[in-house]
Amino acid sequence: MCNICGSPSLEKAFDLYQSGLERGSFASGFLGFSKNHFTVLKQEAPFDLETLQEEFKRLDEFGIYYLFHSRAPTNSSKQSFDYTTTHPFNFGFNFVAHNGIIQNFTDFSNHSEFEVDSSIIPYHLHLNNGDIAKTYSLYKGLLTSWIYTTEKLYLVKAGSSLHMDEDSFSSVSFKGSHNVDEDGIIFEFNGPNFKQTGTFPYNNPYFLL
Rounded percentage of the chain residues whose pLDDT exceeds 70: 92
DSSP, res 16: H
- Provide the terminal-to-terminal Cα distance of the chain, rounded to the nearest Å: 7
**What's the whole-number mean pLDDT along residues 173-194?**
95
Pairwise pLDDT comparison (59 vs 1), residue with the higher score: 1
Is 202's pLDDT higher than 60? yes
What pLDDT, on a 0 to 100 scale, did the predictor assign at position 74?
54
Pairwise pLDDT comparison (205 vs 49), residue with the higher score: 49
What pLDDT, on a 0 to 100 scale, did the predictor assign at position 25?
80
Q: What structural domains and CATH numbers belong to the chain?
A: 3-77+87-199 (3.60.20.10)
pTM of the model: 0.93
What pLDDT, on a 0 to 100 scale, did the predictor assign at position 79?
64
Query: Are the CB atoms for 101 and 142 separated by under 8 Å?
Result: yes
Nearest to 120 by CA among 140, 147, 102: 102
Confidence band (pLDDT; 50, 70, 90) for 60?
A: low
What pLDDT, on a 0 to 100 scale, did the predictor assign at position 43?
95
What pLDDT, on a 0 to 100 scale, did the predictor assign at position 183?
96
**What's the whole-number mean pLDDT along residues 118-129?**
97
Distance CA 199, CA 98 (A): 18
**What's the whole-number mean pLDDT along residues 159-188?**
97
Cβ-based neighbour number of residue 72 at 10 Å: 16
Is 68's pLDDT higher than 90? yes
Pairwise pLDDT comparison (173 vs 64), residue with the higher score: 173
Query: Are the CB atoms for 81 and 44 separated by under 8 Å?
Result: yes
pLDDT in tens, 88-122: 999 999 999 999 999 999 999 999 999 999 999 99
Is 208's pLDDT higher than 60? no
Confidence band (pLDDT; 50, 70, 90) for 77?
A: very low
List the single range of 37-46, 49-58, 114-123 with lowest mean pLDDT: 49-58
If DSSP codes are grouped into helix, strand and coil, which group holds residue 28? strand
